[in-house]
Amino acid sequence: MKTERVPQIVLGAGAGLVLAGAAALFAFGGSGDAPAPAPGAASRAQAAARAGAQASLPELAALIGDREKWLRAHPGDDASWAELGGAYVERGARGGDTASYVQAEKALKRSLAVLPAGEGNVDAQLGMGALANARGDFAAARKWGEAVRAGAPRRWQAYPVLIDAYSGLGDYVSAGRAAERLRALRAGAPSLSRASLVYRDKGWREDASALAHDAVALAATPAEKAACLARLGDLAWERGEPAEALAAYEPALRLDPGHAPSLAGRARARAALGREEEALRDYAAALERLPLPQYALEAGELYESLDLDGDARTHYELARVRATRAAAHGVNGALVLARYEADHGDPDAAVQRLRAEWARGHRSVHVADALGWALYRAGEPEEALPYARRATEQGLRSALFAYHRGQIERALGEYGPARRHIAEALRVNPHFSPLLAPKARRALTTLGEPR
């Protein structure tokens, strides 16, 4: 159960994490003549989106239905097409319905056909940027976000798009600048929540937690508060504090009983605390709500750690099938597929996938770590080590990354660094994986005490 947060588009959201935003970033405008939706769930979703907050899923569904009905009678309304496209992106991210991304692309292109980007259709450009991030096309997302920033530098909605794009490309300096600009332009939970992830990626764990706490306090809707609590739980989990993580996931699930990121997070924490049966039930519930390949992979590894090999194989196949199905809708599942292949399938195939990601500019620490590990598993530890170093030296304190680097160094006979990094993995989070944490402890025993 490797629990590194990876971009939502890779997961199908969200550790990445895109689950907290997508279409809820937009302040809708444009040249259309659409009135506000009728009072009720649709209007509440629209108000939440304009404020940068999350609406509930029923409210989001009501907004989609309202805009679809309006556009059947008013097909020339560019603003409503952009609004509908953004809502489809959010539905895809929060519900795992990757077919919604196809609908989003059609709606956003329709908006741009009515009012081109060069004539001021900012909302559709923002929607295209969020869609590109959700699919894992970070270069395209950067293009859309930078175009909006160049034309309207005070449009705060451009900066969450840019933060996610820069992070996916491994440009953490630019991501940090975008986060600071977002906080200057827009106070509130969405900006604090994203800034907490930027700080986490820099290794500023206390600052990340402080911002995450502030985001919880400022959340404007129950759905948004649940998402902020889940992020707080994730940060606690990554610090190796499963009980503290549970203390964040439990209230999130009281606010939103079907919140899949909180269900998956609670599964990790419960497994770390020896409550494996409860953890497996949480994974099943998370997969029912949000069928991400990453959740299936994590559940498979927990089953394997319990010697339930048949269930493990079923979930590994589920991860592969869901990632492949999402790819048919334009979603880049290379990272989760490569992690599956490296440890449970064909490491050479993992290397091939990840080399392609690296070549297209996707050079985040997650891709660097995965490529280094895949090369090691494919029998190339010497070539693997520079990627492992890059993953561990960017700032993010990751138990998984440290363990991978230590095992690569061990294979190269660098026993001192290997001992140091494997021990670091267990200090950062002694429960980081039900499969690999026991291996880390055995490796330390084999390596012995330093001379």
pLDDT-based confidence at residue 43 (cuts at 50, 70, 90): confident
CB burial readout 126-148, b (16+ within 10 A) else e: bbbbbbbbbbbbbebbbebbbbb
pLDDT-based confidence at residue 2 (cuts at 50, 70, 90): low
> Each residue of 347-395: pLDDT tens digit?
999 999 999 999 999 999 999 999 999 999 999 999 999 999 999 999 9
Residue 159: exposure state from Cβ atoms within 10 A (0-12, 13-18, ≥19): buried
Tell me what the mean pLDDT of segment 4-23 comes to: 36
> Which pLDDT does position 26 carry in this prediction?
36
pLDDT-based confidence at residue 39 (cuts at 50, 70, 90): low
Does this chain's domain 11-290 share its CATH topology with 340-447? yes
Residues sharing a CB contact under 8 Å with residue 135, sequence separation 6 or more, in sequence order: 9, 101, 329, 330, 331, 332
**H or E stretch including 71?**
helix 57-73
User: Are the beta carbons of 149 and 341 closer than 8 angstroms?
Assistant: no
Tell me, what amino acid is at 376? Y
The least confident of 4-13, 99-108, 310-319 is 4-13
11-290: CATH class: mainly alpha
Average pLDDT of the chain is 91
Q: Rounded to an integer, what distance in angstroms lies between the CA atom of residue 62 and that of residue 37? A: 10
CATH of 340-447, one of 1.25.40.10, 2.70.70.10, 3.40.50.1440, 2.120.10.30: 1.25.40.10
Q: Rounded to an integer, what distance in angstroms lies between the CA atom of residue 309 and that of residue 297? A: 13
> Each residue of 402-425: pLDDT tens digit?
999 999 999 999 999 999 999 999
CB burial readout 319-337, b (16+ within 10 A) else e: bbebbebbbebbbbbbbbb
User: Are the beta carbons of 199 and 212 closer than 8 angstroms?
Assistant: no
Q: Rounded to an integer, what distance in angstroms lies between the CA atom of residue 2 and that of residue 133? A: 22
Q: Rounded to an integer, what distance in angstroms lies between the CA atom of residue 327 and that of residue 28? A: 30
Tell me what the mean pLDDT of segment 261-279 comes to: 98
Query: What are the residue ranges spanned by the domains of the chain?
Result: 11-290, 340-447
Percentage of the chain lying above the pLDDT 90 cut: 86
Whether the per-residue pLDDT at 1 is higher than 80: the answer is no
> Which pLDDT does position 21 carry in this prediction?
33
The least confident of 42-56, 138-152, 316-330 is 42-56
* Three-state DSSP class for residue 12: coil
